[in-house]
Amino acid sequence: MRRSYFWLFFTLILCASAILVVYLLVHKEKKKDELILYGNVDVRQVDLGFRVDGRVTCMPFQEGDFVPQGTLMGTLETQPWKDQVEEAQANIQGIEANLANSELVYTRRAQLVEEGAVSQEEFDNALASRDSFLANLLEAKAALGVALKNLEDIQLYCPNDGTILTRIREPGAVVREGDPIYTLSLVSPVWVRAYVPEPLLGQIYYGMKAEVITDKGPTYEGHIGFISPVAEFTPKTVETTELRTDLVYRLRIIADNPDRYLKQGMPVTVKLHAHQN
């Protein structure tokens, strides 16, 4: 009986050892196929400002606030731009009145020139005056369009979902056109800037799937969206546990499912599978 238990125990130990050996061999082969890179998260940022100049009257958001796309983020003083619209409208009305009168003069001259009551020169002058007012009317309507667009652009709307990174100005400040009042960190796209040594360049390709692993957080799916065609020397900011080669190529691994936990500059680990289809 004891001998039977001994052989049974020996058989179990032998099977367990065989399973462990197979697992270690497969795991070792799998590790050989993996490329481990180290990089930092890059988030696209945009400086937001008005297309026109003026005095800032409203800035409702603070640093760290999340702002959905299409949200009103700031306004300028309205009255100066309203005055320009009214001025353009009044100019159009004046030109239209002069044009109507010139049309009457031209019509009368056209009738009289056929009868020989007026000279050809007077008729030509009436025609030129009418055409001049027509051109002035087109110019005035264009000026009104510009004034209306300027009035529209005193309101600043969020172009994409994002988080306020910097609040640069305050209400009451006078800004020139293009002066930024916020810096917005966009929610998407988010990518990882990493570098691959030149000997491993042949094992990666555009669109290759990747895992983006943070130190204390979830793992994100991603893919290689950019491979630099130009080699460069290893930057000092590249972090790796292995000896680096002097020549590397910059990669951009785009995160397919980013969230608010991926922050600008965050160090991450990127796992690529060398023989992935």
Residues 73 and 160 in one domain: yes
Residues 66 and 84 in one domain: no
DSSP annotation string for 42-101: EEEEEEEE-SS-EEEEE----TT-EE-TT-EEEEE-SHHHHHHHHHHHHHHHHHHHHHHH
pLDDT computed for residue 9 by the predictor: 55
Residues 136 and 252 in one domain: no
* Helix/strand/coil for 238: coil
pLDDT computed for residue 169 by the predictor: 95
Residue 57 lies in a domain: yes
Range of the domain at 208: 33-43+188-273
Q: How many domains does the chain have?
A: 3
Q: What is the CATH number of the domain that holds 115?
A: 1.10.287.470
Residue 217 lies in a domain: yes
pLDDT computed for residue 277 by the predictor: 46
Query: Could you tell me if 223 and 176 are in contact, meaning their C-beta atoms sit under 8 angstroms apart?
Result: no
Digitized pLDDT (tens) for each residue of the chain, 277 residues in all: 555 555 555 566 655 555 554 444 444 444 456 788 888 898 888 999 999 999 999 999 999 899 999 999 999 999 999 999 999 999 999 999 999 999 998 888 888 877 777 788 888 888 898 899 999 999 999 999 999 999 999 999 999 999 999 999 999 999 999 999 999 998 888 889 988 888 888 888 888 899 998 887 778 889 998 888 877 765 555 555 454 456 777 888 888 888 777 888 888 989 887 654 4
Closest alpha carbon to 150 in 55, 58, 85? 85
Q: Which two tokens stand for residue 263?
A: 């922050």
Residues 192 and 269 in one domain: yes
d(CA 170, CA 163): 18
Residue entry with tokens 């292995």? 242
Residues 90 and 202 in one domain: no
pLDDT computed for residue 109 by the predictor: 82
pLDDT computed for residue 235 by the predictor: 57
* pTM for the structure as a whole: 0.69
- Cis peptide, bond prior to residue 197, ω within 30 of zero: no
